[in-house]
Amino acid sequence: MSKLRDLVPSTHSLFVFEAAARTLSFKRAASELNVTQPSVSHSIKMFEKHCGTGLFVRDNRGVQLTEAGRQLYDEVRVGFRRLEQRLEAISGRGTQYITFAASTSLAAHWLAPQLYDFQAEHPDIRIKVVATDRDIDPDHEVDVTVWVRPRDFERANSWFVCDEIIFPVCSPAYLLSHPAPQGVDDLVHHQLIHSSDAYRKRMDWSEWVELAGGDASEIKPNIVFNDSQLTLQAALAGEGIALGWSLTAQQLVKNRLLVRPLPTEIKTERAFFLLTSDDVSKNKRCKVLVDWFLAQSEELRL
């Protein structure tokens, strides 16, 4: 048997103490607990007698916690909060999140700038973004994600977002301090920002230049980042020219944070797809998010 039953007069006395200690008012505690003020005062006196020490100092200005009362309140407050969170979780009444797994570049440069507007429009829907360096299959822990797959990819609960189109990007400041490239072969005279993802195959500069009809033999990667998000960040800082992808660079280019120094682009045989774990017709919150995502990326499909 727990010793707690011997250390407190009743569980009710703990609730009374917590309310009185939090509000520092027997009157407000009584109102909150829907009991009379004398009832609260009596319960606190019995609690203090049981503990063998004073928990409150009473004066004309109201009540204040003693040192013993403060120490006890700190423990009760934390304990109550943990119980509350656990009970909410197991009862399903806690905050329900839709979990969106995304690459760091999609999370940082597409989702983050727009999710606050989504939240303002849909305050009842909470989104948890999980940045990941590899593709995750939607399951009971991940509700929504984005994959790049061959354009003829088909799967239940998936939506075509846009073609994979790859093009050079840099900051406006970079172009102000460097001569703009006049063609693909001019790129070798610029600082090219390279990346190599371990778990996602991405086109590199040599492959892009060759597909664009240029000579890639002089391209020598000196610094290589292991995440495309880092290359975009370096481009935003004016460090050079990076490769941008149609979806992940959409907002950066749209907002003129990055510009395209060349009109040349490579359209691959792959595309971005949005995937969900369940049939969205059975999950209204998830359907709202899917509809919003497709609406925000609509211009990429025109």
| Res. 140: pLDDT tops 60 | yes
More confident position, 223 or 1: 223
User: Region 14-37: what's the mean pLDDT?
Assistant: 93
| Measured CA distances, 207 to 203, 213, 217, 241, 243 (Å) | 6, 10, 11, 15, 11
Q: How far apart are CA 212 and CA 222, in angstroms?
A: 22
| Measured CA distances, 153 to 93, 161, 203, 245, 283 (Å) | 37, 12, 19, 19, 24
Q: How far apart are CA 132 and CA 298, in angstroms?
A: 24
In this prediction, residue 198 carries a pLDDT of 82
Task: Please state the φ and ψ torsions of residue 28, each to the nearest 5 degrees.
Answer: -70, -35
**Which residue, 125, 176, 155, 94, is CA-closest to 293?**
125
In this prediction, residue 91 carries a pLDDT of 64
User: Region 193-208: what's the mean pLDDT?
Assistant: 91
**Which residue, 112, 135, 169, is CA-closest to 296?**
112
| Res. 93: pLDDT tops 70 | no
Q: Do residues 293 and 164 make contact, with C-beta atoms less than 8 angstroms apart? A: no
- Neighbouring C-beta atoms of residue 269, cutoff 10 Å: 9
The three-point CA angle 144-257-302 to 5° equals 55
* Exposure of 227 in the CB half-sphere (CA atoms within 13 A): 15
| Res. 103: pLDDT tops 50 | yes
In this prediction, residue 1 carries a pLDDT of 46
Give the model confidence (pLDDT) of 38-67 as tens digits: 999 999 999 999 999 999 999 888 899 999
pLDDT band at 89 (very low <50, low <70, confident <90, very high): low
Q: Where are the alpha helices (DSSP H) in 212-283?
A: 228-236, 250-254
| Res. 92: pLDDT tops 60 | no
Please give the single-letter amino acid code of residue 147.
W
**Which residue, 160, 109, 154, 105, is CA-closest to 133?**
105
In this prediction, residue 95 carries a pLDDT of 55
In this prediction, residue 3 carries a pLDDT of 76
Tokens of 9: 């007069």
Report helix, strand or coil for 147. Answer: strand
Give the model confidence (pLDDT) of 255-301 as tens digits: 999 999 999 999 999 999 999 987 776 788 899 999 999 999 999 99
Give the model confidence (pLDDT) of 205-243 as tens digits: 999 999 999 999 989 888 899 889 999 999 999 999 999
Please give the single-letter amino acid code of residue 228.
S
| Measured CA distances, 275 to 124, 148, 159 (Å) | 22, 11, 7
What domains does the chain contain, in order, with CATH numbers?
4-91 (1.10.10.10), 95-302 (3.40.190.290)
Lowest mean pLDDT among 73-77, 248-252, 275-279: 275-279
| Res. 183: pLDDT tops 60 | yes
| Res. 246: pLDDT tops 80 | yes
Confirm whether pTM is higher than 0.75.
no
Lowest mean pLDDT among 85-99, 122-136, 187-201: 85-99
- Neighbouring C-beta atoms of residue 262, cutoff 10 Å: 18
In this prediction, residue 97 carries a pLDDT of 83
Q: How far apart are CA 263 and CA 31, in angstroms?
A: 69
The three-point CA angle 239-164-113 to 5° equals 60
